[in-house]
Amino acid sequence: MLKYTEDHEWLSIADGVATVGITSHAVEQLGDLVFVDLPQVGAALARNDSAATVESVKAASDVYCPLDGEVLEVNEAIVNDPAIVNADPQGAGWFYKLKLANPAEAEALMDEAAYLALVG
């Protein structure tokens, strides 16, 4: 199941675990990323907590946690080479995996068609 947020994150959800990243649209707006700060593995995050920080040449932006959950794994590759996020934001440029506290809550997020309509 692929879901999106108004904060331009995508979630690929399987078996109650969401792989979370930022959308192609977000990456286009941010420009070249030069720094990514990811959450600690094991961290318990609540919806709308700041989960990660990305910095482009231009500015720093927070990446908010879309749902309550626990961080299972983070993508260290993008810390070492933030350009991976620019090159493949919805694939190799994933940020972290979140074990969802209430998987059913994901149903309320946007599907791809709704997100694409939002960003025009």
Partner 1 sequence: MLDTTSLKTTPLTALNIELGGKMVGFAGYEMPVQFAPGVMKEHLHTRARAGLFDVSHMGQVLLRPKSGKVEDAALALERLVPVDILGVKPGRQRYALFTDARGGILDDLMVANRGDHLYVVVNASCKEQDVAHMRTHLSDLCEVVELTDRALVALQGPEAEAALSALAPEVAAMAFMDVRGVRILGVDCIVSRSGYSGEDGYEVSVPADTAVALVRKLLENPDVQPIGLGARDSLRLEAGLCLYGNDIDTTTTPVAAALEWAVQKVRRSGGTRAGGFPGADVILAEFDQGAPRRRVGIAPEGRAPIRGGTALFADETSTTPVGQITSGGFGPTTETPVAMGYVATALAQSGTRLFAELRGKRLPVTVADLPFITPRYKR
CB of 51 to partner 1, least distance (A): 12
Which amino acid, residue 25? H
- Residue 87 binds to partner 1 (criterion: CB under 8 A): no
- Residue 108 binds to partner 1 (criterion: CB under 8 A): no
CB of 30 to partner 1, least distance (A): 10
CB of 71 to partner 1, least distance (A): 17
CA 28 to each of CA 19, 22, 48, 56, 119: distance values in angstroms, whole numbers, following the listed order = 20, 10, 22, 11, 12
Among 12, 48, 53, 90, binds partner 1 (CB under 8 A): 53
DSSP letters for 7-22: TSEEEEEETTEEEEEE
